[in-house]
Structure 1
Amino acid sequence: MAKEKGVDLVVVIPPLVIGSLLQPTLNGSSTHIVKYLNGSVKTYANAIQVYVHVKDTALGHILIYETPSTLGRYICTEGNCMIHRSEVVEILAKFFPEYPTSSKCSEEMKPRAKSYKLSNQRLKELGMEFTLVTQCLYDIVRSLQEKGHLSVPLQRNP
């Protein structure tokens, strides 16, 4: 449709955007992480999740804007940011063991969800370097703590 109208359309397509929060309130992306850390969910979904750091999303837009030859769709995610939810809770538990992360899948009897392919090659060709998923998850939790959305649980007595 854009081509028919003579419009040069360029789209940056980010998945779930996480990292440091700019706003004082929770949004959908941050709530997605909080639920695994505050004990409100006892299981994780048998699903694949794709993340991108908020700074990478902003940089992707800047690169597109500053490159006149860009056209079409640009997937904005680090190549290894597609992970199973079990890996999400494992990473969170590793970095933040003081929180009650779940270690049980809600659909244990079903086969593990398989990842799919996304290509970020077009943004990489523009010079994009993506933040690793472990850093994305670490940054959002630290930001949630700093903004008061996650309190550090009291240490349990042995």
Structure 2
Amino acid sequence: MWACAYVGAGYGGLFETVKPGNADQYTTDPRFTGTLSGHKLVPSRALCFTGYERCPDDHVCTFKEPNGRGAMTVHVPTTDPATRSHGTSYGAEAAPRSAWNRTKKHVCFYPQPTFTGTWDDPASLREFGAYVILRGDSTTIPAPFSGTFRSHELVNGTAECA
């Protein structure tokens, strides 16, 4: 088996691979000394490149780093009895940098935990409502949205976003 050693939480950040049967030491590289936070054994080196594929079917997953890397949160939606909307609200600790929508619905992300809010983009002088990720899509979240999501809901059509 290949060994994959990661500096960042949730198999994120800088990582190093070790071939089957080889010994490796990272004591001479200060980036690894005392900083490893996780490891895993895999049958091929390619599986060390942990990313979006960790998200289970029929869920929305957010990641602390771009490209589906780093700590992952698997969101289990709840149903609002009044609106019949499936959504999740979370705090600033989530601060996703990338996301994958593995559901059969579109997902609308919002800057407020109440499934509302807008973003101002100083570069374009525009205001934006919900950030949408279509069903089956994954993305690294661009500015001004990156790290600002506080809630999301699943919808049948993007016009349903608040």
TM-score (norm 1): 0.25
Higher helix fraction (1 or 2): 1
Q: Which has the higher contact order (CA 8 A, sep 6+)?
A: 1
TM-score (norm 2): 0.24
Higher strand fraction (1 or 2): 2
